[in-house]
Structure 1
Amino acid sequence: MKNHTEIKALVFDVFGTIVDWRSGVAREAQSFLNRHAPGLNAFDFADAWRREYSPSMEEVRSGRRPYVRLDVLNRENLVSVLTHYGIVDVPDPEIDELNLAWHRLDPWPDAVAALCSLKRKFIIAPLSNGNIRLMVDIAKRVGLPWDAILGAEVARAYKPSPQVYSETVDILGLAPPELCLVAAHNSDLAAARQLGLTTAFVARPTEHGPHQRTDLKAEAAWDFVVDDLNELAQQLGCAD
């Protein structure tokens, strides 16, 4: 384990690490599906929508498309998924409202209390691919106590593009080891480590549902490996 005395700020992946996107999107989609596709499982719909997430961001990461915020990509992906399932003639206001499902996600049970503990000692902020308004809406709804909103819209790039991490270090006025990325995704941590950031893996083995196959465990010797954020707070000397 790395000596944590040099860490001054913690930044967090949000979708999957802080909030349970799958359950939240399925919950928000259920009434929509009851009207338009009553035979379609809401979790299957949520999974299909999420599968469009990374490919749509790769268009931006590759330079094939200029940066647009995640709300725009999510809406385009939603239209694609509706078309895939044969759900047609949905009024635009209904599509817009369903797209806001991502703004109304619930945190994992340990998240809020642990973040409040960590905030007493460290600067804490999201380092998410979600845009600023998206992050603010989630935080205000459930009480995430961020000190700042950082991530893709600030850097105008999507993780794991290097500039997302390097610009965050610069914005906070820190040396890379003084900034710790906390994430449930090994690829996110690997990109951060290449830029010299401290890394913390938190296990979220049901992010993708009961049959998850990826990110079930730490796949490298990250600086911290924990089962939940309360354990991370304890290791960093922030537990109540």
Structure 2
Amino acid sequence: MNPQETSTIQAKRDPTELRVLAFDVFGTVVDWFGSVRSEVARRNLGVDADAFAGDWRAGYQPAMAAVTRGDVGWTLIDDLHRMILDDLLSQYQIEMSEPDRYSLNRIWHLLDPWPDSAAGLRALHPNYILCTLSNGNLGLLTDLVRHGDLTFDCLLSAEVFRKYKPDPDTYLGVASTFDVSPSQVMLVAAHHNDLAAARDCGLMTAYIERPQEYGPQAIKDVSPKPDNDFHARDLLNLEGQLSRVRA
């Protein structure tokens, strides 16, 4: 077995007891950069589409942090994305009508899945409850699932818990929703900080390699970290590893 595909199971978390797989969505299941970049380029805004897409996403964490700190009241990701977009259009000195701003912001509802995502979820589904655990709001996630033909049993999000990841209530909320122990839930994500926060709450963790999350010009380091229970190149590869555990 390739070392990057080897599971490093910690004794306190037994993968044979796993019941629920909770998926981060942006970057893990769907390709936000490629989708946003393509839409920006299609609109001929006269800007570097790669840079604009990256700048839009770069405003995501600071905007959520402002909500978490209480600087602003509870705000859905749709509205945060729009606030960031309005600021970017001003910074880039782009004039855009209200209908065009609205439709451009809706690209976050139409992000394309990674090539393995739909098939990987279908392969995992017979043996596990599959849910999202995303900071995206429910309307956005519903559109993404329909757009990408993605198989989930339940959509859980920051909107449900009124807290953004990495708040512990989001991770523990998955276990509570399905009446299982945290150790019977595994977060599947392409972001080590998300996975670390889940582990702190007692969840198992699986890292998914998405080296081109930020585009082909900004390849991510996807080296394994020993704290994760599984490390997989994609969702189909994760199912292959889990099938060996179940055998």
**What TM bracket, shorter-length normalisation?**
over 0.9
Alignment correspondent of 1:113 = 119
* Aligned-residue offset at 1:213: 6.1
Alignment correspondent of 1:18 = 29
Alignment correspondent of 2:74 = 67
Structure 1, 189-198 or 201-210: larger mean CA deviation:
201-210
SS of structure 2 residue aligned to 1:47: helix
The counterpart of 1:151, out of the listed 130, 153, 157, is 157
Bigger RCO of structures 1 and 2 (CA < 8 A, at least 6 apart) = 2
SS of structure 2 residue aligned to 1:124: strand
Structure 1 unmatched runs, 5+: none
Structure 2 unmatched runs, 5+: 1-7
Structure 1, 23-32 or 130-139: larger mean CA deviation:
23-32
Seen in structure 2, the aligned counterparts of structure 1 residues 151 and 218 have a Cα distance that, compared at 3 Å, is farther
Alignment correspondent of 1:27 = 38
Is the Cα contact below 8 Å between 2:210 and 2:220 reproduced in 1? no
Q: Distance in 2 between the 1:11 and 1:207 partners?
A: 19
Q: Distance in 2 between the 1:190 and 1:112 partners?
A: 26
The counterpart of 2:84, out of the listed 73, 77, 80, is 77
* Superposition pairs of residues 1-240 of structure 1, within 5 angstroms: 1-2=8-9, 3-32=14-43, 34=44, 37-38=45-46, 40-88=47-95, 90-212=96-218, 214-237=220-243
Q: Distance in 2 between the 1:164 and 1:223 partners?
A: 20
Is the Cα contact below 8 Å between 2:23 and 2:134 reproduced in 1? yes
Is the Cα contact below 8 Å between 2:22 and 2:131 reproduced in 1? yes
Is the Cα contact below 8 Å between 2:212 and 2:219 reproduced in 1? no
Is the Cα contact below 8 Å between 2:189 and 2:206 reproduced in 1? yes
CA RMSD of aligned residues (A): 1.6
Identity of aligned residues (%): 41
Is the Cα contact below 8 Å between 2:212 and 2:220 reproduced in 1? no
> Which amino acid in structure 2 is aligned with residue 47 of structure 1?
G
Is the Cα contact below 8 Å between 2:120 and 2:239 reproduced in 1? yes
Q: Distance in 2 between the 1:59 and 1:28 partners?
A: 28
Is the Cα contact below 8 Å between 1:29 and 1:101 reproduced in 2? no
